[in-house]
């Protein structure tokens, strides 16, 4: 397989992965790892394995941080995971009803409805929903930042391979 095609495929997988961190319907961090692995195996140089190793550290750190940050904050506010899952399901449904904007709107409405069903008080439900939104948003931001670091690692590796 030509190295240019391998590079293009790797970059496409990484771009899909970065988008997948923000849009849960797409594969996220696993697609980034797949893109890095494709470059390592078929990229044509031993440097590709270094790219995979460094990029994988970023991706795994992002995945771990996302779960740890979100989980710890939700547990501190005693917000059950069920509420976040209901929000995610409503967000995915909203994505198909109202493209792009439906995801955050559906997630927020689903989260608020689930919390209202749990606490039976709109003020408390809004407070816990806001805390959950901040928690999920912060976790997503950390994972996205580290995914972009992994993408940068791939771009440096590809650029070095072709022009270095």
Q: pLDDT tens digits for 9-37?
A: 999 999 999 999 988 778 899 999 999 99
Number of structural domains the chain divides into: 1
> What was the pLDDT predicted at 46?
87
Compute the Cα dihedral for 29, 138, 24, 89 and give only its sign.
positive
- Identify the band that residue 5 occupies on the pLDDT scale cut at 50, 70 and 90: very high
pLDDT at 99: 84
Q: How far is CA 1 from the centre of its chain?
A: 30
Task: Please tell me the predicted confidence (pLDDT) of residue 27.
Answer: 87
DSSP 85-152: HHHHHHHHHHHHHSTTTHHHHHHHHHHHHHHHHHH--HHHHHHHHHHHHHHHHHHHHHHHHHHHHHHH
Range of the domain at 147: 3-163
Query: Counting beta carbons within 10 angstroms of the beta carbon of residue 72, is it exposed (0 to 12), middle (13 to 18) or buried (19 or more)?
Result: exposed
pLDDT value of position 10? 97
pTM: 0.86
């Amino acid at each position: 397989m030509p190295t240019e095609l391998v590079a293009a495929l790797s970059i496409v997988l990484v771009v899909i992965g970065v988008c997948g961190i923000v849009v849960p319907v797409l594969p996220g961090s696993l697609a980034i790892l797949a893109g890095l692995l494709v470059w390592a195996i078929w990229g044509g140089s031993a440097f590709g394995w270094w790219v995979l190793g460094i990029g994988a550290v970023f991706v795994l750190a992002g995945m771990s941080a996302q779960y740890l940050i979100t989980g710890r904050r939700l547990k501190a506010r005693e917000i059950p995971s069920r509420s976040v899952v209901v929000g995610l399901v409503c967000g995915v449904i909203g994505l198909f009803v109202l493209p792009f904007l439906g995801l955050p709107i559906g997630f927020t409405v689903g989260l608020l409805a689930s919390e209202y069903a749990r606490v039976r008080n709109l003020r408390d439900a809004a407070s816990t929903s806001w805390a959950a939104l901040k928690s999920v948003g912060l976790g997503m931001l950390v994972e996205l930042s580290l995914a972009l670091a992994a993408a940068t690692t791939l771009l440096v590796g590809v650029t070095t391979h072709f022009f270095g």
